Structure 1
Amino acid sequence: MIVIDIGNTNTVLGIFLNKKLLKKSRITSTNIKNFEKNLAIFFNSNFKLIKKSKIKICLLSSVVPRLNNLVKKITLKYDIIFFNLNSTNLPFKLNIKYDLKKIGADRLANTIAIINLKYKNSIIVDFGTATTFDVIKNNTYVGGLIFPGISISHNSLIKSAALLKKIKIVKIKKIVANSTNESIQAGFYWGYISVVNGIIEKIIDEKKFKPKIILTGGLANIFESQIQPKPIVNENLTLEGLRIIGKKINA
């Protein structure tokens, strides 16, 4: 099974054989020509694996509609069934207290993955273009929050401040830094930790429950050690959710 998660900044592609993730790649989503080129490279370079594994279906989660037809086009070329996940075609009965027309397919996939893991109470923090918080209580998706992501916040700061340069966001022990670069790193690292911990605390207080904290997305590992309560990191949560949905469709 092929699973593809198109985000605003990056796209993650995976190939599953049963429950095992055999292949995982990341390409950019911001340039349509580069996206089409890199998508073709992924399929061409994995042609033997796709054929050997007898892959028959491709599950797509996308928040960039203009890229969806490119995925559909290449799956048809390889004679693979194309399934574009949205709130109206879920093959599961899912209790959702949210505007179904507005909820992202990636958040649906994450929720399916978590419920499948038997975590009836959880908060999913996804560090993507936006940092999203999804709340599941008693196996019901009760809502969430959307906060500006680290990369777009960083890019916005650099774009607006003539003397600041783009740097890599990393773990940093210092809170009070002694250089401009370290000050930016400390501000983003400890600032986002404070935001995430603060929001988690307020969600728990409002919903009156004891959730598992699940971190996912490209930067999850950077923040893991400082998040409370102690979290579980699953970088492939969305892909896993798509796999579970694909298995149900293909049954």
Structure 2
Amino acid sequence: MHTIILLDVGNTNVKVGLARPGQGLVSCYALATAPGGSLDTPDAWGLKLLDICRVENVAPGEVGGFVASSVVPPMNPVLARAAQRFFGQEVRFAPGQGPGGIPIPIANSYARPAEVGADRLVTAYAARELCDAPALIVVDFGTATTFDCVLGEAFVGGLICPGVLSSARALATGTAKLPHITLEPGPARADGGLDIGSSTSQSLNLGLIHGFAAMTGGLARRLAQTLLPGRETEVRVLATGGFAQRIAGVCPEVHEVREDLLMEGLWRAWLAAQESPAP
């Protein structure tokens, strides 16, 4: 049974997923995109991917393909050379057409479709495949916080806001007296209220997590009013990304957390391409 390697190339991390027919996504790892501030060589990435396969007891010859979504163009040739040298495989990038690309089976209604980040389109497609609500809002807590809207069978656009981690780093830049930020929401209150921070550390953590939760809830409600006026309760909100679980825990507007939504989208896009191969 061939294993397919899925690559989500982001500005902060590269997520590596392994998926198999009949099983779907079986494991997922996160590696720094540019450790030390510069990109690693194709050989270094090839060895990293080999190490992941060894941990998962997958021989190089059992890898049947690579599918990638990338918002870091300089990484694309690096990963392509790594896959070719160490696995004898081509990397198929999504979205893309022809033998070198993987199409994403969702209509793209952006004013300039080519401007949509690959990650946003793939997660929108995955959400549409997993949920039959008439309209969806996908909130991705990554380097940036994105709100992607799906109406019917089309990606219609969304919002791009600051990210949780980048905001925390911005607070810490040049402020030596600020304590370490753990980004923990603290224990939930029985009355649903918000604790008042009694220390600088607690104030920072509560402010970031609950601040982003309030932003998420408020923007989701407004977007729902725009997507389905008068039928806002039919809009489903899905959260994904590294901080999704923590923020969803204090944001009742989020209906479901799917931490590996983009990986799910890459896997489903690969399956769809197998069923309808490009001419």
TM-score normalised by the chain length of structure 1:
0.91
User: Of residues 85, 108, 118 in structure 1, which corresponds to 2:94?
Assistant: 85
User: What is the deviation of 1:42?
Assistant: 2.6
Counterpart position of 1:94? 106
Identical positions, percent:
25
User: What is the deviation of 1:87?
Assistant: 5.6
User: Of residues 198, 206, 213 in structure 2, which corresponds to 1:193?
Assistant: 213
Spell out the pairing of 1:2-13 with structure 2 (5 A cutoff). 2-13=5-16
Counterpart position of 1:155? 169
Do the aligned residues in 2 keep the contact of 1:87 with 1:101 (CA within 8 Å)?
A: no
Counterpart position of 2:191? none
Give the distance between the partners of 2:270 and 2:59, measured in 1 at CA. 16
AA in 1 matched with 2:130: L
Give the distance between the partners of 2:204 and 2:176, measured in 1 at CA. 14
Counterpart position of 2:50? 43
Counterpart position of 2:143? 129
Give the distance between the partners of 2:212 and 2:79, measured in 1 at CA. 34
1:29 aligns to 2:41 (yes or no): no
Give the distance between the partners of 2:60 and 2:96, measured in 1 at CA. 30
Do the aligned residues in 2 keep the contact of 1:61 with 1:242 (CA within 8 Å)?
A: yes
Give the distance between the partners of 2:102 and 2:135, measured in 1 at CA. 21
Give the distance between the partners of 1:67 and 1:204, measured in 2 at CA. 36
Cα RMSD of the aligned pairs, angstroms, is 2.1
> Residues 93 and 17 (structure 1 numbering): CA distance in 2 closer, same or farther, change over 3 Å?
closer
Do the aligned residues in 1 keep the contact of 2:213 with 2:248 (CA within 8 Å)?
A: no
AA in 2 matched with 1:9: T
Could you tell me which runs of 5 or more consecutive residues in structure 2 were left unpaired when the two chains were aligned.
188-193
Match of 1:49, SS?
Answer: coil
Give the distance between the partners of 1:178 and 1:150, measured in 2 at CA. 22
Give the distance between the partners of 1:94 and 1:87, measured in 2 at CA. 12
> Residues 205 and 168 (structure 1 numbering): CA distance in 2 closer, same or farther, change over 3 Å?
same
Give the distance between the partners of 1:179 and 1:59, measured in 2 at CA. 46
Counterpart position of 1:202? 222
AA in 1 matched with 2:225: D
Q: Which moved more, 1:170-179 or 1:11-20?
A: 170-179
Could you tell me which runs of 5 or more consecutive residues in structure 1 were left unpaired when the two chains were aligned.
none
User: What is the deviation of 1:45?
Assistant: 4.2
TM-score normalised by the chain length of structure 2:
0.82
Match of 2:14, SS?
Answer: strand
Match of 2:249, SS?
Answer: helix
Bigger Rg, which one: 2
Do the aligned residues in 1 keep the contact of 2:67 with 2:270 (CA within 8 Å)?
A: yes
Do the aligned residues in 1 keep the contact of 2:121 with 2:155 (CA within 8 Å)?
A: no
AA in 2 matched with 1:219: F
Counterpart position of 2:199? 179
**Runs of 4 or more consecutive aligned structure 1 residues displaced over 4 Å after TM superposition:** 33-36, 87-90
Match of 1:24, SS?
Answer: strand
